[in-house]
Chain A
């Protein structure tokens, strides 16, 4: 579907038209001032061309009104652009409440995707059209950048952090995915495709895969294999906090501070358990740095997220 020499990118997300509108406005502003300056220079160069070798220019030193004018008018125009750019950015930075979450791990030089239902993909990401998709991204090694031009979205994928980015695809198709932050030898090969599908086709794709159970269930298995459950359980005499219903809560820390139990907090607690110890517990948990991979971390995070608060006294079985 990419033939000829396009001069403008395809627009395939709800954000694309908003970004393009601002782009066209700026093209107008830039075109106006660019032509104004170029026109004046050419006109003056011709109109006031030096006629005799000893000619000098008029004794004009300046004009306060003009100076104020060409300070204030550009200032006002830039403030309009600022507010417009900021409002587009707010929309990009704030995903809707209801999103389809997909985990992304970048590494030199590939993109790995994990769907909640357990499907895994490399360099290809299948998403439904018409639904807000939130990507929770991290990197195994260096900084990468998730860039889909047709969606007009881009975010650095940073090791040691979870960066989220969201989009809502508006039409089915295959869209280019680029790594946009230089990441080493095969940087320009770290590309892929986002495949936006009609919801019904997407459902068919989901059920057609060879998923080995959901991401949370993989996390549950890991939780047992790593023996996390020996301490993080109700009858463990308080060696470790019970994690049911933890996600999204505010945690009181030993230091007296508080932290929100988001994805980054859970990740940090697994890799650097002594960094943010929950109030009332001893810093006895060993680090799992180097033991669990970024992808396994995401499974554990998703498992903890899946643990709902106990209904009446009794926690759910693990």
Chain B
């Protein structure tokens, strides 16, 4: 359409100062978001490289590529990098940082310096963990189960634990920053129920971050204390209880799954609304489902321990609570699907990721029912069924949501459009590669292949080769966006302030936005997703 009228704004956050100092000392939430973007991408590719080695090794039953010691370090570091340094921070710290102030019509977060400090904490924690990696690695699994981690492992448990401990403060401070910002800094007229759903889920996530992260911080410190000073917390020979660790660990790490997926759900609500040019069906149900997940998510940790000597009755209570937490997730899926009904449904890249998210998250959620059923969980827990299930949630859910969000807001972040054809192609590659990687693992799991096995019986090979083939396709799918997104920074068409014809405050300011986000504070007189009239300014 009228591309000739699209101009890059003369003054925006990217040209407001050049040089390394203008970035490393910035207090602009948008620049901090980009600092996070660079650092989480680095950790993603480190963790991803390890996944590639793991899948290559598993292409043969004997695991011929690396030794079992190396294999154990690979899956541990893959988990640590991906969970603590990519999946947990990715959406809140990149998209959340960029969007929370803009979506509420504010100039910045409530505590801009604290926001920069959070990034530094994250980087220091990450460097600790990288140090542990390059000086020999760690072989406990990302779950650090005791007493193996405290008395048996001879690897770098303590530096890794400290890395996780330090990074936790970044989550806590970012969570606090978002909570205060959403409470105190909304533009005039922007009531809670006019907020985009991304903010509801960011808010729910921040609550979990603030309440849950201290528990994992204490837990990894206890592990370090038992390792270094031989305090008897978990080692039965010192009078400790090894299963106590699992309670403490999962009390954080189960809610952590929702830290990873709730923000992605928020992104998908935005993608579906803009992709259908329609209000999200059942807005308040979707909003409250986020809070219900945040609350119920704290009450289900015991389902990780059905075979870990838990009493029959606590197993039953954790089982029924786990079924309950599935309901709000199901409600969201139904609402997103219903939003498409009589929509003006787009097939552009962000919407393709939304379709992918809903499909894969649905499979991940439904297989969660298998695991919540105690009598069935006994057979499939600790097998590849679990591996497949949580990758459907974390990779199929969180990463699809993140990539969808990145493609949707990229024109706002960069001011330019990427190559739509390549973007669609890579979304397709990722979807196919993902399913080929992880679907066979459900079958392997029910067959009984345990997770964290470096070698396996030969008759499991065909399914493992399929999975490894899928992983290589998936790897290509993740590399292609790197290329065309970088390319678009210089050569992409100018986006204009609203390339999607979407509503929402972020599309009312320029692309890229000015440092202060808005020339003057907006006054909000409409609900979220107010597509009442034909939209203007749509390019594609």
A residues whose Cβ falls under 8 Å from a Cβ of B = 2-9, 18-19, 22-23, 26, 29-30, 33-34, 37-38, 40-41, 44-45, 48-51, 53-63, 66-67, 70-71, 74-75, 78-79, 81-82, 84-93, 108, 141-143, 145, 147, 149-150, 152-156, 158-161, 163, 176, 178-189, 272, 289
Contacts and interface: CB of A to CB of B under 8 A. Distances in A.
13 contacts: A19-B378, A23-B376, A55-B534, A57-B278, A60-B279, A61-B281, A75-B327, A82-B323, A89-B306, A147-B382, A158-B243, A188-B453, A188-B454
Given A48-B343, A61-B279, A156 B309 contact: yes
B153 A184 contact: yes
A50 B376 CA distance: 44
A50 B285 CA distance: 26
A85 B362 contact: no
Interface in B329-348: 330-331, 333-335, 337-338, 340-347
A119 B373 CA distance: 37
Contacts of A181: 145, 382
A26 B374 CA distance: 13
Interface stretch (B118-126, B176-184, B294-302, B456-464): B456-464
Contacts of A41: 337, 340, 355, 358-359
B366 A38 contact: no
Contacts of B333: 37
B323 to A, nearest CB: 4
B340 A45 contact: yes
Contact of B152 (A44, A81, A142, A156): A142
Nearest to B456: A188
A237 to B, nearest CB: 31
Contacts of B140: 182
B414 interface: no
A162 B451 CA distance: 24
Interface stretch (B106-114, B163-171, B314-322, B425-433): B314-322
A86 B315 CA distance: 9
A179 B323 CA distance: 28
Given A56-B278, A143-B148, A85 B285 contact: no
A58 B374 contact: no
A81 B377 CA distance: 12
B139 A185 contact: yes
Contacts of A45: 340, 345, 347, 355
Given A29-B366, A79-B323, A85-B377, A160 B236 contact: yes
A74 B373 contact: no
Given A57-B278, A182-B141, A108 B362 contact: no
A156 B307 contact: yes
Interface stretch (B90-98, B262-270, B442-450): B442-450
Given A58-B342, A184-B152, A188-B453, A22 B282 contact: no
Interface of B: 1, 63, 68-69, 72, 139-141, 143, 145, 147-148, 151-153, 236-237, 239, 241-243, 276-279, 281-285, 306-309, 312, 315-316, 319-320, 323-324, 326-327, 330-331, 333-335, 337-338, 340-347, 355, 358-359, 362-363, 366-367, 369-370, 372-379, 381-383, 443, 446-448, 450-459, 461-463, 501, 531-536, 538, 540
Contacts of B241: 160
A71 B68 contact: no
A259 to B, nearest CB: 17
A188 B455 contact: yes
A289 B1 CA distance: 82
Nearest to B443: A7
Contacts of A153: 378-379
Contact of A55 (B145, B279, B344): B344
Contacts of A93: 312
A6 B355 contact: no
Contact of A78 (B323, B338, B346): B323
A74 B379 contact: no
A206 to B, nearest CB: 28
Nearest to B273: A57
Nearest to B306: A89
Contacts of A53: 1, 501, 538, 540
A275 B148 CA distance: 25
B283 A37 contact: no
Contacts of B72: 182, 184-185, 187
Contact of B455 (A3, A61, A189): A189
A54 B312 contact: no
A4 B277 CA distance: 51
B362 A6 contact: no
A94 B151 CA distance: 33
A44 B68 contact: no
Contacts of A5: 459, 461-463
Contacts of B330: 70-71, 74
B382 A145 contact: yes
A85 B331 contact: no
Give the 5 A-B residue pairs with the shortest CB-CB distance, closest first. A88-B375, A149-B448, A160-B236, A85-B373, A57-B278
